[in-house]
Amino acid sequence: MTQHFDIHALRAQFPACENPDWVYLDSAATAQKPRAVIDAISDFYASPLANVHRGQHQASLTATEKFEQARRDVAAFIDAKPNEIIWTRGATESINLLAYSLSQHFTAQDEILVSEMEHHANLIPWQLVCERTGATLVKIPCCPHTGQLDLHAYQQALNTHTRIVAVSHVSNVTGTRHPIEKMTAMAHRYGAIVIVDGAQGVIHDPISMAELDADFYVFSGHKLYGPTGIGVLYGKQDSLAALPAFHGGGKMITDVSFEQHTLAPIPARFEAGTPNAAGAIGLAAAIQWLTQYDLRAIDAHLSTCYQALVEGLKQRPAIQLICPQPHSTMVSFVVDGEHHADIAELLGQQNIAVRSGHHCAHPFIKALNVEGTVRVSLGAYNSQEDIDRFLTALDKTLYLLGV
């Protein structure tokens, strides 16, 4: 954290920000990539290329070292140990891996608690587990007026039959930050396993796995300024050791006969086949790029932009904010009498990129009693000028619709 934060210097590192006519306000879906990440991936493929953990020649040894250094970089970023980091394709695959592996011995007596506010990636895998095993899916309800989970209802739902608690760190609809430390401590009193979807939570604030104390934490690289197709599954060492293997194939074994096999140590046993080495290296480059800054300075900048965004939206009477949070990087809203897709389309025609719809969180949207929302989400590269241009385009949109 040695480089002074300067929004203009930071933006200059993003090729996508070179287009002066385009305002990107959809970073919760995926973040733009800095040149450091693009170069790291390009350099990996441009150098003498080899598979990792497969050869004794120099190209393979070099690729393997870069791949494993990336694992160490990710571990350090979240205050974990390298052998607690499993590479996956993304948060979705990480959760599916856990759902498959943890449920091998579930019965109809078991219960899985999932919050009402989850992204489908942290809901549907558990629905499938319940269909397969007879276990019961239990909802942790939210307050539709505040966008906060009902912790009293959560406490009441926990019992000795609770096997899993699955909850997001930060909602991808409202930006609500859930009290993971408190929820984890409550769940552990009943021996439940806590799984946190950190896709939105890992992005802005320094995170310590030791402090969160969740058994598993998952996130995707592409929301963290890294490449697509790479994800992380963090697990406590004992928690990972208790998991059966998910994928079978090369690298995840130490010995194979025709009749049986011996599993490799963790993390290799969960990484069958040729890994996305370029993706891992690109994610490490994103982390190295990001941590050259004071993350709190970036957060303070984004907080200023967020407050300007929310205040600007509040000044427009036709707009209803959906559970705006005091501190966040995203906000959802609806326009009285207008479809969310029409708002996004008209903004898009003015080169303002936002997200509209259910945000892969249908149950939460239904609980909020809306058909869908327009979501504006910020990245480190967004500026006050972006907010001003968005609000100007929104005014034109409302005028065209006669609102």
Residues labelled as active-site residues: 360
- What's the Cα-to-Cα distance from 297 to each of 11, 205, 253, 310, 328, rounded to whole Å? 15, 11, 45, 20, 14
Q: Looking only at Cα atoms, what is the longest distance across the chain?
A: 72
Do the Cβ atoms of 333 and 356 come closer than 8 Å?
A: no
Q: Where are the beta strands (DSSP E) in 46-161?
A: 85-88, 111-115, 136-140, 142-143, 148-149
Gap between the Cα atoms of 403 and 401, Å rounded: 5
Asked if residue 267 has a cis previous peptide bond (ω within 30° of 0), the answer is: yes
Residues in contact with 197: Cβ distance below 8 Å, sequence separation at least 6, in sequence order: 91, 95, 118, 119, 121, 122, 166, 167, 168, 169, 218, 219
Q: What is the DSSP string of 135-173?
A: -EEEEE-EETTTTEE-HHHHHHH--TTEEEEEEESB-TT
Contact (CB, 8 A) for 199 and 166: no
- Phi/psi-derived region of residue 172, left when phi > 0, alpha when psi is between -120 and 50, beta in every other case: alpha
Looking from the CA of 156 toward its CB, the CA atoms found within 13 Å total 8
3-state secondary structure of 377: strand
In which residue are the tokens 């070179």 written? 18
Which amino acid, one-letter code, is at 161? H
**CA 178, CA 167: separation in Å to the nearest integer?**
8
Name every residue whose Cβ is closer than 8 Å to that of residue 180 and which is 6 or more positions away in sequence: 167, 169, 194, 196, 201, 212, 214
